[in-house]
Structure 1
Amino acid sequence: MIVVFEHLFHYLIVLLAGLTATTAMADSGVETLAKDLEHPWGMAFLAEGEVLVTERPGRLLYLDLETGQRAQVSGVPAVDAQGQGGLLDIELHPDFSDNRQVYLTWAGACGDGNATHLGRGRLTDDNQLADFETLFVATPCVESTKHFGSRISFDGAGHVLFTTGDRGERDRAQDLEDHNGAVIRLHDDGSIPATNPFVGQANAEAAIYSYGHRNPQGAARHPETGALWIHEHGPRGGDEINLPAAGENFGWPETTYGREYWGPEIAPSEKPGTIQPIHVWTPSIAPSGMAFHNGDLYVGALAKVHLARLRLDGQEVVSEERLLEDRGWRIRAVESGPDGNLYLLTDQANGRLVRVNP
């Protein structure tokens, strides 16, 4: 009997050690680098171990991930931090090492309401955004606290693109005299390119690149093709991944795979003259943030609290895996870092910056 108990005890020790090792391996690829971030929204790496992070209430933070140093960057524009609004995305100019230009989007007060703004400033050595200027305001201004977009991307040809939401008033996305519900394309100084699809067209805003978007909160450049991929929130179901193209209509609200929140159909899922998404989530995961990493596409989920890994064959999503579901994190931003790891921001009053090795 004693021998039996000895063998049983030895087996339990081995089993527990194995479980502990499994847990350690599961956690070894996930590391929280910073806490106490108030609803962080976007991030941009200055170098390996140095990152700028936006907080929706209106702060821009410099974080040194090696030393733990944290400093607030001054010179940030005033924001209208209501509902979904506030300080939103951040992106470095492609020639940042030479010009030190940092681009921001934010919800700012204007007229009788607010709008998605794009601006830039020069980052100084003492953590200031010097000479900050507003480059563009997505008009008309709307009295709303919803659907501002917005993610920023550079195309490598001197253009900056950023996304705007429909502001919770869906018909704006089909109105070419309205910047809301669109992808906006500008020169990096905020001027409008002569090659934009609606330049010179009556009853259309020349800054619009594509339209019919509901609320795009993810944007990433494909590492091989250079094509811009975005995703956008659907209503009840119908979150989409789209590839914006010049002058094209992506359908919202005349076509959608989602439904009204109270159940009825909004519109058919297809309509001639509109572009179909390359991927749809129903039910909604509430996507935010996206990044290409080691050949896969990673998307954060706010409602379904996970990190989605999408395996691709060209432009086709062939499989999808859900990571970090057990963490309960509303994932707001996803970036591929200069060290070869993924970085996430969690959308919480006590948000985190997390490093992930998938």
Structure 2
Amino acid sequence: MNPWGLAFLPGGRFLVTEKGGTMRIVQSNGSRSAAITGVPSVDSVGQGGLLDVALAPDYATSQRIYWSYAERDGSGANGLAVATATLNETTLALSGVQVIYRQTPKVSGSSGHFGGRILFAPDGKLFVMMGDRQNGDQRGFSQDLSRGNGKIARINTDGTAPADNPFTGQSGAQAAIWALGIRNPQGAAIHPTTGDLWINEHGPQGGDEVNRITRGANYGWPIRSYGCEYGATQGEACWIGGGTHAPTYVEPVTTWTPTSTAPSGMLIYSGNGIPEWRNKALVGGMQYGGTLWRVDIDQAGAIRCTVRGGQPAQNCGEVLFNNAKIGKRIRDVRQGPDGWVYLLTDAANGEILRISR
């Protein structure tokens, strides 16, 4: 029911999270297991719930998994949390569940912009994408290093902050923060050649972005955006802060302006099955009934291209699939061990779709 995150288990099986709070194993023939036991309670409200999942790099021997979810405290406030446990694939049970990281402080009265994507870097550190928590009184904290709003965290597998993080030792700053000025990141990928982290994030009214994330960088939200405040007449005149991020903040590599695609999962393709897609970003979308974009990026993130009115400009990419071909909101985009591309659709009867030759 409403799948959100996908990881590939040995033997062609899938580990899938469902937003309402269940986690299941899906066989290659499409059959689903019973719910895995031991998953802690999630706050399935608005955009919150059980979100992303990732296998530990040594999963073959450790059977350890990591996942993100919306967590509510006793006062009713909520925020993103990351937990880890050992998965027994035979008994469908988690053991040794431990929450290793929490977005702090938690927020009252918000049900949106949790972010939630997690993924491992080549050095074994874990990146955690955290949203600004949506409420008007919260989004400004994306520029505040003492708070988890609108940040990307980089943590060790036990949840501690690596000593080489950019703000370690800075007075008042959370040591786990890797980058700031983020609105609502819904997709993340590691570049197969450079090892860099790339993300996408939702803009407000227009201004969805793809960004290459670098250590200590500030991506400008909510001071700069190529989107407009809700209710404004769309166009350059209403771009937040005039739109242009540089030189104070990092310019996005790609924006969807003035329309939004509501970007979701993403990958940077490295397989042999579809060679013309290699080193291109594939970005899912939840608008227009469901869209999959191919976005041309350069490794340095030097080229900024803009997608206008639902079609790309400057040869920055193309619509691979849209509502006419899919008709389903795309929640996650993954490259399988077989080199093909897998899509996870966002619906009560969500599906795993495979793109192959």
TM-score (structure 2 length as normaliser) = 0.87
Tell me the equivalent position of 2:201. 232
Q: Report the alpha carbon displacement of residue 248 of structure 1 after superposing the two structures with TM.
A: 1.2
CA distance in 2 between counterparts of 1:286 and 1:66 reads: 30
Tell me the equivalent position of 2:70. 107
Tell me the equivalent position of 2:47. 84
Does 2:249 match 1:285? no
Contact 1:112 1:141 in 2 (8 A): no
CA distance in 2 between counterparts of 1:237 and 1:311 reads: 20
Alignment partner of 2:317 out of 295, 320, 330: 320
CA distance in 2 between counterparts of 1:354 and 1:39 reads: 14
Q: Which has the higher helix share?
A: 1
Which amino acid counterpart does residue 350 of structure 2 have in structure 1?
A: G
Number of aligned residue pairs: 321
Contact 1:48 1:339 in 2 (8 A): no
Tell me the equivalent position of 2:274. none
Contact 1:41 1:347 in 2 (8 A): yes
Contact 1:89 1:150 in 2 (8 A): yes
- Against the structure 1 CA distance between its residues 203 and 44, is the aligned structure 2 distance closer, same or farther, given a 3 Å change threshold? same
Contact 2:23 2:35 in 1 (8 A): yes
Tell me the equivalent position of 2:309. none
Deviation per CA, 1:306-341: give whole Å up to 9, x if none.
Answer: 111123443446431212311221100000011121
SS in 1 for 2:175: coil
Where in structure 1 do 4 or more consecutive aligned residues deviate above 4 Å?
A: none
- Against the structure 1 CA distance between its residues 121 and 241, is the aligned structure 2 distance closer, same or farther, given a 3 Å change threshold? same
- Against the structure 1 CA distance between its residues 194 and 172, is the aligned structure 2 distance closer, same or farther, given a 3 Å change threshold? same
TM-score (structure 1 length as normaliser) = 0.86
SS in 1 for 2:347: coil
Contact 2:253 2:297 in 1 (8 A): no
Alignment partner of 1:297 out of 265, 269, 281: 281
Contact 2:131 2:151 in 1 (8 A): yes
Tell me the equivalent position of 1:310. 295
Tell me the equivalent position of 1:181. 150
CA distance in 2 between counterparts of 1:186 and 1:58 reads: 24
Does 2:235 match 1:266? no
Contact 1:48 1:337 in 2 (8 A): no
Gaps of 5+ in 1: 1-37
Which amino acid counterpart does residue 262 of structure 2 have in structure 1?
A: A
SS in 2 for 1:72: coil
Contact 1:45 1:338 in 2 (8 A): yes
Tell me the equivalent position of 1:248. 217
Alignment partner of 1:94 out of 14, 33, 57: 57
SS in 2 for 1:116: strand
CA distance in 2 between counterparts of 1:337 and 1:292 reads: 12
Farther-moved stretch of structure 1 (311-320 vs 321-330): 311-320
Q: Report the alpha carbon displacement of residue 71 of structure 1 after superposing the two structures with TM.
A: 2.9
Contact 1:49 1:66 in 2 (8 A): no
Which amino acid counterpart does residue 320 of structure 1 have in structure 2?
A: G
Tell me the equivalent position of 2:85. 121
Q: Report the alpha carbon displacement of residue 94 of structure 1 after superposing the two structures with TM.
A: 0.8
Q: Percent identity?
A: 42
SS in 1 for 2:293: strand
Gaps of 5+ in 2: 233-237, 272-277, 306-314
Tell me the equivalent position of 1:134. 99
Contact 1:47 1:338 in 2 (8 A): no
Larger radius of gyration: 1
CA distance in 1 between counterparts of 2:17 and 2:32 reads: 16
CA distance in 1 between counterparts of 2:342 and 2:30 reads: 17
Contact 1:249 1:274 in 2 (8 A): yes
Contact 2:139 2:149 in 1 (8 A): no
CA distance in 2 between counterparts of 1:332 and 1:85 reads: 14
Tell me the equivalent position of 1:19. none
SS in 2 for 1:71: coil
SS in 1 for 2:296: strand
CA distance in 2 between counterparts of 1:67 and 1:321 reads: 30
Farther-moved stretch of structure 1 (250-259 vs 348-357): 348-357
Q: Report the alpha carbon displacement of residue 350 of structure 1 after superposing the two structures with TM.
A: 1.7
Contact 1:48 1:338 in 2 (8 A): no
